[in-house]
Structure 1
Amino acid sequence: MQTAMEEVIERSVIANRLDTIAKEMSYALEKSSRSPIFAEACDFACGICNSRGELVSQINGIPILAAAGTFSVQEVIAKYHEQIQEGDVFIINDPYQGGNHLPDIGIITPLIVKGEVLFYCVSRAHHGDIGGSVAGSYNAKATEIFQEGLRIPPIKLMSKGQMINEVMDLITRNVRNPQMLQNDLWSQIGANNIGIARLQELLQQYSATGIKKTLAYLLEHGEKMARLAIKALPDGEYSGEEWVDDDGFQTHPIKIKVTVKVRNEEMTLDFSGTDSQVKGFVNSAVVTSTSAAWIGALWALGPDIPRNSGAFRAIKVYLPKGSLVNPEDPAPVTLSTLTPASEIISAIFQALDSAAAERLPAGFGRYCGPSFYGLDPRNQEFYVGFAFCALGSGGGISGRDGYPYMAPLSNYGGVRAPNIEANEIQYPHLTLCHEIVMDSAGAGKWRGGPGVCYSLEFYGNPTNIVMFGDGMKIPPFGAHSGRPGSLNHSKLTRAGEAALLLGSKEDARSLPPGSVLTMISSGGGGWGDPYQREAEKVWRDVRDGYISVARAREDYGVALKNDGVDQEKTQKLRSQALGQPQIGKINGT
């Protein structure tokens, strides 16, 4: 019989082992994959679910992918139930049946002991191409999901340890780079196998009964922590709105509205009032919308709450059918994991700002850049790439400036920016510029992160680009008197032609060799009154090239001289702006 202390220690060891196993799965996936999207950008997430498909452990990875893992497993369970056998592996990507969007393919591997499923290992990853009418699968002019790529319902990819070749052949026959996709699927299968092997080792040390008790405890603990955090908020209803620029067809903004209802220990996120689904690919199906809602709510509730299915139990999500956040099949949805997932999170932040202000940042930049594809003149092989180096920046938060180069919110720094030199080896382009953009950060007591200028020159065979993203009309919001961040914008320069401004959602365009594409990404919004920022911090920002001397004076009321802050002029500027003496306010005290 275990003592209470021994039981606590065992639970702690098992919980940490599960987290370590999920991390090892991710390392295996990163190191064994072939595509730059996996190996360089790490656009994936790994997790472990219990026998009911409830998420018990996940690595940070890409938040919008990690939280969604439970849906995919539960779809597999619902379809196969008593037919799941040892050695089976399942594959899924359909957004209307447990998936995020078509490029994100989930691989699910059960662990069966004495005829009973104890665990499911899950890897979800973004593949470079999944078919459809545009290479890279971001079809800005798609009007239905069939134009976006191959839909894969939950089906077996392997049975009793053997590959079902007909399924693999069907999938690879419908993509433009079949060998790379097949290799990356093997990497996902291999990562899951690592997870299964480590879980089997865990079962050699602890009984299945003890492990199941620990899993139940971890979920109950997650739920308890979430409910305690909700109870600490004042009961009431909190409303917030965020807007998507457009859908590539209509030109007016699209509203996302959320009402957060806090009642004792339960939170409901009600998206009634959100605009109807649209023609273009910014619709978001239930899995992505729910995952984004959980991310936003848990962020507001605090970092100590486990990100597992237990915590999710305390957060109810209502998504009106036929709306932007719950469209009717077969509406297109490919952009959804970027926009509007990030805007769903942002709307929740703005709703809960009065209740959890110290934990919530100002607005983040939105992703906006191209996919590019064609034949590489160096080897005549087909390639598909993405502008991961054009990331925007985060918003300021109480006590800290916004992190640069980590937007959008739905990824929260999970996508890595590839190495420039490696990128030039992988794709036929040269990087002409990759640098911070002055005066792009939203001003605030805690400023936003600055945006980035990223410029590419394409060479060799004609290159095709498809622009996808948002944030060219609506900037990242400022919070608590902070200023908004900057907008995204992009321009294309071709030999002998004037520069052409590009939209955020454009159809495929062929570029002749020598074309130069320049992207300016958003800076994040500022948090707090800029006149409360320490003058010495403003001086350092000027010295580091983040803001100009003129904007230091205009936005922050800070006058500078060659060697630092002009204290007397700064005092005068800030006093005049506030209409009262500001002794002690120069350094934000």
Structure 2
Amino acid sequence: MDIVTYEILRNGLYATAREMKIAMMRTAGSPIVHSGGDASAAVFDAECQLVAQGNDIPTMLGSAVISTKASVDAIGRDRLRPGDVIISNDAYLGGGNHQPDIQFTRPVFVEGEIVAFVMTRGHWTDIGGQAPGSYTCMTWDIFAEGIRIPPVLLYRDETPVQDVLTLIVQNTRETEVRMLDIQAQYAGCFVGDRRIASMVRKYGKDALKQAMARALDHSERLMREAIRAIPDGVYEAEDRLEPVAGPPGWPTAEIPLKVRIIKQGDGIHFDYAGTGSQTRGGINCPFSVTCNSTWFTVKAITDVSIPINQGCYRPVSIAAPEGSIVNARFPASVVAGNTETSPRIIDMLLRALAPAVPKRVVGQSNGGANSGVFGGMDPDEARVARTRRRYVGTVEPHAGGMGARADKDGVNGVRVYVGNAGSTAVEITEQTTPLLVQEWSLVPDSGGAGEYRGGLTSRRVYRVGYEEATYTVCGERGIHPPLGQFGGLAGSMFHSEVRRGDGSVAKVPAKGSVEIVTKGDVVVLQPPGSGGYGDPHRRDRARLLEDLRDGYVTGAALSDYGLSPAEAEALLAEAAHG
């Protein structure tokens, strides 16, 4: 195949994945999808190998390497027909990452032959379970996390399988919103099917097959070259994962995380032996999530320009003990393993690899989605008539700090690592839910000091308009702060509280608590900050002056940068005079 045809086909596959996600976002019902972009789309070859994806949610796309093949194998490729769509979310039967992320898988037929598969995955704001929003760490097992959907046919010959559809949506708290999400994901798959079929009609099935195989081999070759540049050796690190703040009798000990990395030639092996056993509460990881965390880290420390597909992962091997928190065994609950434990694994891997690639690692970051979840009945009759939603649930990921880099400060107020979804726009929150956002601001001094400063976290403050609702939070780093690299200092920790109308204040731990909130209550949610990079005493004074003027750093933190009281007073005076 000539290079021009190859590049047209290769770029066409990536463009298809991007268009599929756009189709989803335009029609989805969940604000976390249509506003926050918590959705992904990808194209797989006829053998279920990931060949093209959008710039979407890494945790969805990495685990799809496992879940797509699991979905097709469960149904049986011989049973599939044009217009079929498989739905699944089960972490154990379907290879999923966690149950709120619903995967649709569609075969692409041309002249009676499967030439590709397309996949959409979206985060539904509710899939049932014990807590509104289906997002709480305090679950006994996976059955409490919402309806489990093993791979089953949801569409047959372009027509919904009505009994399956009814069974699913009636086990959620927002039936009409779920219907919109289903139709949106179907639309994304439909777009992907049509685009790929069009390419095949123009260039032929053999050309598409060759282009897909070549794309996988090309990414593998580039990844092996990048890995070869990393010094050979054995690299190790360990950390401790914070337990769920459950009721009396639940485990209270921190869970060890441990990794041993063996880099040799153009391959790299990750061994998680020594990591603690799976635990009570939803912080366990399915093996697919641990694989994704590992693949993400390798991609991040090598070359971001390498086209992302399954070829990137061929040089990487992974061993994780079954029954551990990084390879949970049924029926362990897993909802936050995907969003909170996974970033903690990545922070540990970056710490292990820091001696090998010091210029490619960052200070520890905010470590999770840090989601605030509200659920209850909407008392606003006008809004109910407009939205056709009496029950209103919302899941809002919150932006924390990204760790400082070797030559730049960290990024303020951002999701990091495998999350990559935005916070819901204030206007959408206020228009569609009984919540008023009173504050959304960056938090001074929340980024760890360093030659390069850690990124600041953000704070959101809500005034509750529900007559009564649940408030659930699922976050990270409520006990241990995000550390810096190479002498950089730690950033701030997670903080959340409910301020009652009677003047009392309830502190909300990062994992495990459910609070009942009522009209007039004020809820504060502040994710962790991030760690600095390098000795703070080496920070350029011009940068420090700029931080003071921007309000990123206050006088209280100047001693962290080695300033004497007199030097701090002089710098503050200079900042005050513009």
Q: TM-score, normalised by structure 1?
A: 0.92
1:511 equivalent in structure 2: 517
In 2, Cα distance between equivalents of 1:196 and 1:387: 31
CA contact (8 A) 1:63 1:410 kept: yes
2:124 is matched with: 127
Indicate if the aligned counterparts of 1:302 and 1:359 stay in contact, CA closer than 8 A. no
Q: For the Cα contact (< 8 Å) 1:243–1:343, is it kept in 2?
A: no
- State the partner residue of 1:56: 51
Q: Corresponding residue for 2:315?
A: 314
Counterpart contact for 1:301–1:356, Cα < 8 Å = no
Summarize the alignment of residues 317-466 of structure 1 with structure 2, pairs less than 5 Å apart: 317-367=318-368, 368-379=370-381, 381-388=390-397, 390-411=398-419, 414-466=420-472
Between the aligned partners of 2:466 and 2:406, the Cα distance in structure 1 is 49
Shift of 1:410: 2.3
1:494 corresponds to 2:505: no
2:257, 2:416 → 1: CA distance? 17
- CA distance, structure 1, for counterparts of residue 189 and residue 15 of structure 2: 13
Percent identity between matched residues is 28
Q: Aligned letter for 2:59?
A: I
Give the aligned partner of residue 574 of structure 2: 564
SS in 1 for 2:118: strand
Q: Give the number of aligned pairs.
A: 558
**Structure 2: which 5+ residue stretches go unaligned?**
385-389
Structural RMSD (CA): 1.6
**Partner AA of 2:152 in structure 1:** I
The aligned amino acid for 1:466 is: T
Structure 2 counterpart of 1:78, from 46, 69, 73 = 73
Cα displacement string for residues 478-498 of structure 1 (whole angstroms, at most 9, x for unaligned residues): 001111111011111111232
What does residue range 27-66 of structure 1 map to in structure 2 within 5 Å?
A: 27-66=22-61
Using the TM superposition, give the Cα deviation of residue 408 of structure 1 relative to its aligned residue in structure 2, in angstroms.
Answer: 4.1
AA partner of residue 532 (structure 1): R
Note if contact 1:345-1:410 (Cα within 8 Å) is conserved in structure 2: no
Which residue of structure 2 aligns with residue 271 of structure 1?
A: 272
Name the counterpart of 1:468. Answer: 474
Matches of 1:130 and 1:13, distance apart in 2: 40
Structure 1 window deviating more from structure 2 (440-449 vs 68-77): it is 68-77
**One-letter code aligned to 1:88:** D
User: Shift in Å at residue 296 of structure 1?
Assistant: 1.1
Distance 2:341 2:484 in 1: 19
Moved more, 195-204 or 499-508: 499-508
Q: Is the 8 A contact 1:481 1:527 kept in 2?
A: yes
Task: Answer whether contact 1:536 1:565 (CA < 8 A) is retained.
Answer: no
Alpha-carbon displacement from aligned partner over 1:320-346 (angstroms, at most 9, x marks no partner): 001001111000001111121111111
Query: Which residue of 2 is the match for residue 191 of structure 1?
Result: 188
| CA distance 1:545–1:556, change in 2 (3 Å) | farther
Quote the Cα distance in structure 1 between the aligned partners of 2:184 and 2:466. 31
Distance 2:414 2:536 in 1: 22
Matched, 1:20 2:22: no
2: CA distance between counterparts of 1:76 and 1:430?
41
Alpha-carbon contact 1:258-1:272 (below 8 Å) kept: yes
The alpha carbon displacement at 1:90 in A equals 0.5
Letter in 2 for 1:504: A
Report the secondary structure of 1:99's partner residue: coil
Q: Distance in 2 between matches of 1:180 and 1:334?
A: 21
Distance 1:68 1:15 in 2: 22
Deviation per CA, 1:1-32, whole angstroms, max 9, x where unpaired? x6xxxx11211111111111111111111111
DSSP 3-state at the match of 1:358 = coil
Q: Deviations over 1:55-77 (max 9, x none)?
A: 10111111111112222220122
Q: Deviations over 1:340-364 (max 9, x none)?
A: 1111111111111111111111111
- In the TM superposition, what is the alpha-carbon distance from 1:122 to its structure 2 partner? 0.5
Q: Say which SS state the counterpart of residue 473 (structure 2) adopts.
A: strand
SS of the equivalent of 2:410 reads: coil
Q: Distance in 2 between matches of 1:467 and 1:508?
A: 7
Question: Once the 2 structures are TM-superposed, how far is the Cα of residue 98 of structure 1 from its aligned partner?
Answer: 1.5
Compared CA separation, residues 438 and 565, structure 1 to 2 (3 A): closer
Counterpart-to-counterpart distance in 2, 1:487 and 1:415: 21
User: Where do 5+ consecutive residues of structure 1 fail to align?
Assistant: 567-589
Deviation at 1:204, TM superposition (A): 2.4
Does the 8 A contact of 2:400 with 2:414 survive in 1? yes
Q: What residue number does 1:299 align with?
A: 300
Q: Secondary structure at the match of 2:256?
A: strand
* TM superposition shift of 1:419: 1.8
State whether residues 497 and 506 of structure 2, in contact with CA within 8 Å, keep that contact through their aligned partners in structure 1.
yes
Equivalent pair of 1:533/1:556 in contact (CA under 8 Å): no
1:411-431, CA deviations, whole angstroms, 9 ceiling, x for partnerless residues? 1xx211222122111110111
One-letter amino acid of the structure 2 residue matched with residue 136 of structure 1: G
In 2, Cα distance between equivalents of 1:529 and 1:139:
38
What is residue 387 of structure 2 aligned with on the other side?
A: none
Deviation at 1:477, TM superposition (A): 1.6
Residue 556 of structure 2 corresponds to 550
Residue type at the aligned position of 2:166: D
Within a 5 Å distance, the mapping from 1:193-212 to structure 2 comes to 193-212=190-209
Does the Cα contact within 8 Å between 2:107 and 2:114 map onto a contact in 1?
yes
Contact 2:539 2:561 in 1 (8 A): no
Structure 2 distance, partners of 1:562, 1:523, is 23
SS at match of 2:133: coil
**Is residue 163 from structure 1 mapped to residue 160 from structure 2 by the alignment?**
yes
Q: Which stretch has the larger CA shift, 179-188 or 134-143?
A: 134-143
Partners of 2:85 and 2:415 lie apart in 1 by: 33
Q: Give the match for residue 85 of structure 2.
A: 89
Matched, 1:222 2:219: yes
Match of 1:148 among 135, 145, 164: 145
